[in-house]
Structure 1
Amino acid sequence: MKPNLVIGNWKMNGDQQTNEVLLRNVLASQTNEGHLEVAICPPFPYLASVAAHLQDTNVVLGAQNLSPATHGAFTGEVSASMLRDIGCRYVLVGHSERRALFGETNEVVAQKFAAAIEQGLIPVLCVGETLDERRAGITNSVVTTQMTAVIKHAGIEKLTRGVIAYEPVWAIGTGETASPEQAQAVHQHIRGVIGSFNKQAAIDLQILYGGSVKADNAKALFSQPDIDGGLIGGASLDAASFIAICNAARINPRGTA
């Protein structure tokens, strides 16, 4: 079984001085104990400096986005090969903010997922429903459609080489959090969809929860049998909170205390 995974998504936050202090504190807390991998996804301008801080540590580098194109006249875009070249291991794909604010469709997200795989990156496919969709009782349908777009474009084998992060849109940055039982139900559904194609792949697949994870709710979330860690937004900008979340994931590999 793969280790639990905690990814800090800094979004559009930080500066050189703040980043250095945050990383120094986070790195000082990391040990080789427990079944856990930790990744940091800073804004693009800070990838190189964060990569330098992470060198020779057990924390890895990720990026927040990528272009589906390999190269060319795409001003402002960054390719998968560029991210790999600078040392990224992970890249977020289809975050709800990319879908809602920048119009990324399921098809575009699928193309980005495939581009990441082709260059040896591990894409973190973000899926999740809005509040209206949850109230309409179509959460599972929405999540399945988002995953199916990747399966149709890249195939089930490539999908299972990535990571899936369930992030209920209504719980991102709002202070609201899906209850451990609500999150577990969707994670179980996701694993079931993958299991309909490949049972072993479903067992091995890392499925993260993202949506206002905090130090005080992380243990309850990570104790659920199908939750393998978290995609952490705001709390990743506070060293003490992020360290506590990592520790909760370290002592709770897939539902064990």
Structure 2
Amino acid sequence: MKKLWIGTSWKMNKDSDSAQAWASAVLPRIEKLHPQLQPFVIPPFPYISSVSSAFDASVMKVGAQNMCWQEEGAFTGEVSPLMVKDCGGSVVEMGHSERRAQFGETDETVNMKVHAALRHGLTPLVCVGDSGKEKRWGVSREAVIKQVKIALYEVPDHQIPQVIIAYEPIWAIGESGIPATPQEAESMHFAIRRALRELYGADLADAMTLLYGGSVNLDNASNLLDQPNIDGVFVGRTAWNASGYVQLLEIANSKFSS
């Protein structure tokens, strides 16, 4: 049975005290979750070590918001896969629309980071999404599937299930974002899954984890998790508060008892 993933990226928020307070508040709850529920958190890089040390790595996965594709070298300001692992990280977020728009992330560099992460036993979490203009033009599926295919270029079949894809429509992200309806999100996830089946066959495609992110909140999380091709949610500000994240875990946990 595939795990249900519930995670959050803090982006450039929190300090060491608030990071530790969040971890301390969440810790008692995650130890009682259904074993098929996979919580994860992606703090800013300075706090990966302290947050990861607060949790049992077999229960809570901790990740990095970005990573260089090189192991070392003259890459000022970058973080290597080895550094992520050394700090206790096991997941690497890559390709987020903010990094694409503000820091020059491209489909090609995302692919390079996917390969680097897999070489070092890290889980690539690849963010893909369509813009508001692409949605209006009716080319959302083409735009998203292009990103998926390039991210996975030349990844060996046996490593394909290790890659997580997070569909995050750009028009749904942020404080002013409009969340995709469960039906809209499922439609895109179905299209991604179908493209993966064409590339790798049903078994490998169905083994891949597909997440939805984009203004996920306590009101829409349950319906999103009920969709057949959505294997979890990647949450922003709703989960930055420990109580919000714990409530999301409770919602997800209830799916195993119903």
Interval containing the TM-score (normalised by the shorter chain) = over 0.9
- Matched pairs, number: 255
Deviation at 1:235, TM superposition (A): 1.5
Which whole-Å CA distance do the structure 2 matches of 1:157 and 1:139 have between them? 29
Which whole-Å CA distance do the structure 2 matches of 1:156 and 1:138 have between them? 28
Compare relative contact order (CA 8 Å, sep 6+) and give the higher one, 1 or 2: 1
Q: Residues 151, 59 of structure 1: CA spacing in aligned structure 2 closer, same or farther, 3 A cutoff?
A: closer
SS in 2 for 1:165: strand
Which whole-Å CA distance do the structure 1 matches of 2:223 and 2:57 have between them? 32
- Could you tell me the TM-score, scaled by structure 1's length? 0.94
Does 2:221 correspond to 1:237? Answer: no
Residue pair 1:70, 1:81 contacting (<8 A) in 2 also: yes
Map 1:83-102; keep pairs closer than 5 Å.
Answer: 83-102=84-103
Residue pair 2:160, 2:204 contacting (<8 A) in 1 also: no
- Could you tell me the TM-score, scaled by structure 2's length? 0.93
Map 1:1-257; keep pairs closer than 5 Å.
Answer: 1-30=1-30, 31-33=32-34, 35-55=36-56, 58-173=59-174, 174-196=176-198, 197-252=200-255, 257=258
Identity of aligned residues (%): 37
Q: In structure 2, list runs of 5 or more residues that go unmatched.
A: none
Supply the AA of the counterpart residue of 2:184.
Q
- What are the Cα deviations for residues 77-133 of structure 1, in whole angstroms up to 9, with x where unaligned? 111121122221111011111111111110011111111011000000111101110
Deviation at 1:57, TM superposition (A): 7.0
Deviation at 1:156, TM superposition (A): 4.9
Which whole-Å CA distance do the structure 1 matches of 2:254 and 2:35 have between them? 6
Q: In structure 1, list runs of 5 or more residues that go unmatched.
A: none
Deviation at 1:34, TM superposition (A): 5.2
The more displaced of 145-154 and 55-64 is: 55-64
Deviation at 1:209, TM superposition (A): 0.3
- What are the Cα deviations for residues 208-247 of structure 1, in whole angstroms up to 9, with x where unaligned? 0000111111001101111111111111211121111122
Deviation at 1:167, TM superposition (A): 0.3
- What are the Cα deviations for residues 128-168 of structure 1, in whole angstroms up to 9, with x where unaligned? 10111011111110111101112334355434321000000
Which whole-Å CA distance do the structure 2 matches of 1:241 and 1:200 have between them? 35
Residue pair 2:53, 2:88 contacting (<8 A) in 1 also: no
Q: Residues 57, 158 of structure 1: CA spacing in aligned structure 2 closer, same or farther, 3 A cutoff?
A: closer
Which whole-Å CA distance do the structure 1 matches of 2:35 and 2:57 have between them? 19
Q: Residues 90, 49 of structure 1: CA spacing in aligned structure 2 closer, same or farther, 3 A cutoff?
A: same
Supply the AA of the counterpart residue of 2:27.
L
Q: Residues 94, 56 of structure 1: CA spacing in aligned structure 2 closer, same or farther, 3 A cutoff?
A: closer
Residue pair 1:111, 1:153 contacting (<8 A) in 2 also: no
